[in-house]
Structure formats: C-alpha cells, structure tokens
Structure 1
C-alpha cells in the first residue's frame, strides 16, 4: 500500500500533512468498527435508539430526501453528537472536498464519500490523503474497491441497492463478486497478478497486497437492503466485517427490537440458535420494510 506519501494540494493549501495523519492510523480507526453494525439515522431520537441497541457507529443523514441530496446540516450533526457517545459518520457528495472540509471541522469521526447522495463531481473522487479523518467509499467490485483505497479510503462499503427497497439481492451479488475475485487472485501465480491488476483496473501493489492478505487491505462492510437478522448474518458469513443499516430500518412498529436483533445477529452470525431468537417476533415490523407489488414491478422493469 502506498505509504501515506505525497499530498496533493487544493488551492495551494494542504488540509493536513499526511505525515501527521498516516493512512495506517486511519485504517486502525476503522478496524475498531469490525464485527459491528453502523446505523443510518436522521434525528436525535433514532440516534439514541441505535446507540441503546448496540450500534458501533451512526451515519447522520439529511432527513429531507427530496431533490438533490447533500451533506446534512451541521447543526443536526452537532445535535446528535451531543446526545450519543459512539462514533459519528457523515456522508459527503462524491468529489465534493469542501463538504469534507466542513465535516472534518465539525468533528465527525468518519466521512462517507457516498454515491447514495447526489454526485458533485462525476469524474473525480476526493483525495482522501488530504484529510485527518478516515474516509469510507463504496464499491461493487474488487477493482473499484482497490482504486478507492489508493485514493485514501480506510474502509470499503460493498454497496447494493440504494433505493431503500429492502431487497438484499444486489448486495449479495456484489459481496460475492468481490470475494470471488479475491479467491481467484489467491490462486494465481505471481506472474499472473500483473495482468489481473490491469484487467480489474486496480493498482498492482494493492492487488499484490490483497493476494498476500487473502482479503481487502481495509475493513469491508456491506450496505443495501439489510433489514433482518438473517440478512446481516448472511453478509457476515459471506466474509464482510460488518453491516450498514439504512434509515428505513426505523419504519417499523418496534425499531429498537429490530436494530438490536440485527446487531446480535452480526455478533453471533455463526450461531443458529441466536439467529432463531433474534429473528423471532419481528413479523409485524416487517410489513413496512417489504417491497410492494408496484415497487417489485418497478425494480423488475429497471433490471430488464
């Protein structure tokens, strides 16, 4: 992995010196989230519920989902920081390094350069080496993941469905794609790694490191359509380090019970007895998280 080297400047002003905030430190800060669930919240009430249920981190999102979605209001971030004691993650638009500067100044623990909200720059991602704060980035395959790590991402979010449909199929597909490519890489001769890195359009040194480690060089979480304890345990058994839950998880009769059940499933994903217990009694709260017939037709039409 590139050692925390050159810092590209924006407007001739470095946000921070990479030597004082090395990548290894940022990667270490994301390691503490392994084996947990990150919960997306839009208000202080949901933040308290998620913390009480055992979330390892919160994503603060803009409660207004209409039109172009952007970084949430800093006052909302400060309000939630006052009422919880667990780490806070906030989304910035892809390529919008000024939003990232604002979030770092507010004092967030992690920044998610997220395609789940509107894009600010269709061609360029933020140079994440310019920031003290660890960054999270999304990907759907191994090449994308390692490209984001080269830019400075300290955590990879293997992203599935972004519509909040409750459909986990795309997440499963992408997680299997990443893990499958890693297995192929692990079985390659050293001479084949050069060609493979070109095929997936990823930096050779990171591809070689992935082969050596047998996994991504950074923490990998799964996101999209994870709404039941079984969904979460599936992601963990497929090889993820944790899961990210959308804010739609609160659209049920007992959000605490559901979030708590999913977090327990993440912690005990190989214990079927725990999974039976955490999955019991959630049927009533499933109703608002299921796809309606109209939405099923809509997604089927989009996939055709």
Structure 2
C-alpha cells in the first residue's frame, strides 16, 4: 500500500497546526482505553476527553494468543457511538494498518509498544491527517518520537495493555523532567555531549526549543493501568499533561463513577481538599466483579441465545393488553408459549393497597411470594418476554431490578422473534416445584429506581425554579397527541397533557422491524440511534432521568432503551403511578402545548 502523498511545506505546517489544536484539548483531561462501543459511550457521558480503542487478543492457527488491532467492525461501532475523538491502537510502524484506520475515520493513531513492530521506524507520520501517539521511556525516546512525527506522547509501561504499573509511569515522568532540567540548566561536558547527541539524532531546533522552554513541545500522557483518582493526581503533579485511564475500570462495579472520579481528580489535582472528597467518594464504590459490563450486555437477549440457553434460565411471559383491546394474555399464554415459560400477571402481582391505580409495584413480600410460586431464586437468570416484541416485558424487567434481582433480561423481539425462527412452543401451564423453604426468594429493593408522586412533585418544583436547569429530567413515553393535550386519554375522567418541563419520547420510537422480511418483529433500535432520539427531544445524558407514561408500562420501554443505550442505571428512575396517578390528583399542574 503506497504511503500518503508527501505534503508541501505549507501543507505540513497546516497539518501540524491542526494536530496541535486537537491534542491540546486533552491537557488536564482523561482518555479512556475501551474495547466496545458501550464502554466508549460510558466514558463519554462522564466527561472523558477522548477514547483509545484498545487491542484485541486473538488465536492463531496453533491456538496461540497474539495481540492485534481492533476489528474494523469494532472501530466503526465505537466511532458511531460517541462524539469524542477516537484513537485506535495499531502495531508500531505498520503503514498499512495506519492508513486503513485513518481511512475508517478515526481521529488518531496510537502505536502501541505491546504490539510487534513491523519494519524500521521510517513511517511518514507527518503526512497523515491524524495525529500519532507514541509511548516513550526517557527524553531520548521523546525527542526521537517527536522528530519522527508524533503529535502526543505517553509513558510506555511495557507490552501488556492496562497492567497496573503506576510506579513505572511515575518513574518515566520523573526521568524525562529531570533530563529536561539537566540540559536546560547545566553546561558541564557530559551534559553538552548529551545535547550534541540529541541534536545529531533528531534536530537542532527541537532540542533548542526544549532547552529554552524547559518542557516538551507536545503533550505527554501518563499511562500505566491508572484506575484511582489519587494516582491520576500524582501523575499530573509529576507534569503529565493528561491521563490514560485503564480499560480494567470496566471490570469493576460502577465504572462510570470511577472514570468520573479520574476526570475530577485530573482537573483538580492541585486542590488537596477537593482531592480528599473525590477519593472518599471513590472508596465508597462497590467491590470488583468479574465484569461490570455483564449486566449491561445482558439487558437484551436474542431468540437464538434463549433457545440455546433455555435450560439454564427461568422464562416469564409478561404479555399485557390495554383493557379496550379485549384480549386475554393468560388465555393466549395457555394456547402457546415458549417451552418452560410461566405467566407473570402484571395486573395480579401488584400493590393491593392502591385500589384506584393499575398494576403498581408489588411489595417485596408479594413479589417474593410470587417468585417462590414460580420456583425462581435470587440467583436465577430470568428472561422476560411479551407478544408485542418489546413492551410489557420491560415493566417486569424494571420490577425485578427494583426488587434488587441482578440477572434479568428482555427477549428482544419477544414471542414474534421466537416464532420467526420457527422454534417450538408448548401449550398449557407448566408444573413448577416451589423453591425449597431454605431458599425462599428474598427481595432487596432499590428505592432509587422508583419515583413516587411526592418525589415527582418536588422534582417538578426544582425544574420550575431553575427553568429546567436543575432536577431530574422527566421523559414521557405517551404518544405526542396525548402529551400535548390534543387527544384525550383513554382512561375515563383523566385530562390529557403533560407535567411541566417534561420531554416527550413516544415509546414506539424505540423499536424497529428486525428486517424487511419480518416487519411484525419489533426489536429495540441500536444504542446510537436511541441516543440520537433522546438527544433530539432535548434530553441531557449527563443528568438523571425519570421515565413516565400512562400507567407505568411503556415508561419501562424507555427505561430499558436508555440502559441499552448505555446510561447508568443509578441515573434512572421510573414514576410508578405515571399519568394515571398524576392527572387524577386535583393538585397536579398540567401543561398543554
């Protein structure tokens, strides 16, 4: 593959200027190493300045592991998921790989020392339109990297990506700074000899510039498996210009909050009081788990996945219909359902004390008793589905989450997707042995996921007093004509309209036909499409959200869609009573527009 055409001196000067403008935006900021588009989105929403797409581990013909650049599919997925600059790690000096990634639209290249070098280091980096990052260990390597076209440097801490090497990173930063101060202040023979060697191997002007300014002319990032705010602050105090956050953060609980603590510590590294507060908050985060992204990745499962894992999960049919449709979901369940499934009656498993409101969240005791009848334990992976594709099952998904159940997934496409693959169904209700008495289901409610009327009204007051700038955002899933008050509510006696400062994202906007041959199979749209829909409605992904609808069913579709799009569940709540409760209260303020 031929290299890019050699630019003229004028074009080179313009390219250097553009690259310098980009890399300077990373000063006092955090770039996060990621491996998936979901991780990239998490990093973006908590304030990262950029993304570094890490390498892949693959198997060769002899089943030996080797490291390679991320696949083109992954590169495109990440580029489509975020608006941040995206760098991708490639093999050192690999011209074809650099050109290919540049052609894919990446914003920069990181030549990673952990991936085998290919050939000599004569790659014309300055001719590329994107900046290059190079890892260095001392001033000599820094001079050489800059001389050969690197626009940004980072500490090179070995061949293993994201390994915790804080001491090594700190040593590199100290070494480079000490070497700079030496050549800038000393005039003894050994120092002059060293300066001469630097100039002969790179360029006089570059070395003179560093001596004059007592610092490198390009940013240098601290990289070495950084995951703790105090480590980030230390690196900044050692004159790093920014931080590279380790991808290992995604193997912990609450990766978004951990990245946010790195962002804050990097920005406030000189403020000891703020640092103490940031570190204290960081210490409160949960313990490491095998994969913090596992929950996110299992929000949705496909029909083929469920078919393959049917014996390892518990399945619930959660179909539900509006009263005026005159359909009986339980009768339809008996006539045909996924093998082994049981029927979750949304109108039956509810709070019995709220007689004037439909299917309110059941108490922990009622929910636990229902799980015992189903033979479901706290450790079971539960898959919920419905006949709509993505609908009432989301309500039951949220119910499980609100009760603290960790492993619950929605069958994307529901019963229509199962039928599309011609998988077997069965009739009649399955016989289930209740959980053994010593393993009775115990709910562990998460109240933060549930919003009640009092909390909602208080939040509306906060929105009103700040002209919408403060408080949780309210997003309504009802059709636009009911939201604006142009069409009546189907529940007798209820006014249409909406809550003050609420946004409208109809739940029907969340789904799309699985393909042109199966228009009846509705599945959730891709994360980037969902994010665009919410953004177009005016929603800010950096602020918490309350979802609402007519009676708490389709609000859960938005809830699941937002999780699918990468929003942190700690930022979400569902208003259980929804419009059925809000509009029924004579003290509620109703807007129409």
Q: TM-score, normalised by structure 1?
A: 0.84
Please say if 1:64 is aligned against 2:61.
no
User: How do 1:256-275 residues align onto structure 2 when only pairs under 5 Å count?
Assistant: 256-275=256-275
Q: CA deviation at 1:111?
A: 0.8
Whole-angstrom CA distance in 2 between matches of 1:36 and 1:45: 20
Residues 203-255 of structure 1: per-residue CA shift (max 9 Å, x gap)? 33211110111100111111013110000000100111101112112111110
CA positional deviation for 1:181: 0.5
One of 5, 19, 22 as aligned partner of 2:10 = 19
* C-alpha displacement of 1:162: 4.5
Q: Contact 1:27 / 1:154 at 8 angstroms: preserved in 2?
A: yes
Alpha-carbon shift at residue 288 of structure 1 (Å): 6.6
In structure 2, C-alpha distance between the alignment counterparts of 1:49 and 1:157, rounded to whole Å: 23
**Residue 111, structure 1, aligned to residue 104, structure 2:** no
Residue 255 of structure 1 corresponds to: 255
Secondary structure of the 2:70 match is coil
Q: How does 1:144-155 map to 2 (within 5 A)?
A: 144-155=141-152
**How far 1:117 moved relative to its partner?**
2.3
Closer/same/farther in 2, CA of residues 232 and 143 from structure 1, 3 Å limit: same
Distance 2:229 2:88 in 1: 24
Deviations along 1:57-113, one digit per CA (max 9) or x if unpaired, are 001123436622222112211111111111111112111011110111111111112
Moved more, 82-91 or 153-162: 153-162
SS in 2 for 1:156: strand
Contact kept, 8 Å, 1:17 with 1:130, in 2: the verdict is no
Q: CA–CA distance in 1 between the matches of 2:95 and 2:192?
A: 32
Q: 1:172 to 1:100 in 2, by over 3 A?
A: same
Q: Are residues 248 and 268 of structure 1, via their aligned partners in 2, closer, same or farther at CA, if it must alter by over 3 Å?
A: same
The one of 74, 77, 94 aligned to 2:75:
77
**Residues in 2 aligned to 1:52 and 1:263: alpha-carbon distance in whole angstroms:** 11
Which SS does the other structure have where 1:40 is aligned?
Answer: strand
Structure 1 unaligned runs (5+)? 1-9, 290-304
What TM-score, normalized to structure 2? 0.44
Secondary structure in 2 matching 1:211: helix
Partner residue of 1:231? Answer: 231
TM-aligned CA deviation for residue 17 of structure 1 = 4.9
Give the secondary-structure state (helix, strand or coil) at the position aligned to 1:225.
strand
Q: 1:281 to 1:32 in 2, by over 3 A?
A: closer
Report what 1:94 is aligned to: 92
> Shift of residue 33 of structure 1?
1.3
CA contact (8 A) 1:186 1:214 kept: yes
Does residue 40 of structure 1 match 2:37? no
Distance 1:218 1:12, change over 3 A: closer
For 1:287 and 1:185, the matched residues in 2 are separated by 45
Give distance in 1, aligned partners of 2:9 and 2:286: 46
Task: Provide runs of 4+ in structure 1 moved above 6 Å.
Answer: 190-193
Change (3 A) 1:186 1:48: same
The aligned counterpart of 1:141 is 138
CA distance 1:185–1:273, change in 2 (3 Å): same
CA distance in 2 between counterparts of 1:192 and 1:206 reads: 20
Task: Name the SS of the counterpart of 1:278 in structure 2.
Answer: helix
| Secondary structure, counterpart of 1:91 in structure 2 | strand
Between 1:18-27 and 1:28-37, the stretch displaced more is 18-27
- Alignment match of 2:24 (pick from 26, 31, 38): 31
Residue matched to 1:159: 156
| Deviation per residue, 1:17-57 (Å, 9 max, x gap) | 56324323322221111110000000011111100111000
**Residues 1:221 and 1:13: Cα distance change in structure 2 (over 3 Å):** closer
Equivalent in the alignment of 2:180: 182
Q: CA deviation at 1:159?
A: 2.1
Paired residues of 2:35 and 2:55 also in contact (CA < 8 A): yes
Which has the higher mean CA deviation after the structures are superposed, 90-99 or 183-192?
183-192
Question: Does the 8 Å CA contact 1:161/1:170 hold for their aligned counterparts?
Answer: no
Task: Say if 1:94 and 1:126, in contact at 8 Å, map to a contact too.
Answer: no
- Aligned positions, number: 279
The answer to which structure has the higher helix fraction is: 1
Is the CA contact (8 Å cut-off) linking 2:222 and 2:242 kept in structure 1? Answer: yes
1:279-290 correspondence runs (5 A):
279-283=279-283, 285=286, 287=288
Q: Distance in 1 between matches of 2:3 and 2:50?
A: 34
Give 2:193's aligned residue: 195
Closer/same/farther in 2, CA of residues 120 and 286 from structure 1, 3 Å limit: farther
**Per the alignment, do residues 16 and 288 of structure 1 end up closer, same or farther by CA in structure 2, a change over 3 Å counting?**
farther
- 1:296 corresponds to: none
Over the aligned positions, Cα root-mean-square deviation in angstroms equals 2.4
Tell me if structure 1 keeps the 8 A contact 2:251–2:288: no
Check the 8 A contact 2:93/2:123 in 1, yes or no: yes
Aligned partners of 1:154 and 1:125: how far apart in 2? Answer: 16
Q: Which runs of 5+ in 2 are unaligned?
A: 60-64, 291-593
C-alpha spacing 1:100/1:15, structure 2 compared with 1 (3 Å): farther
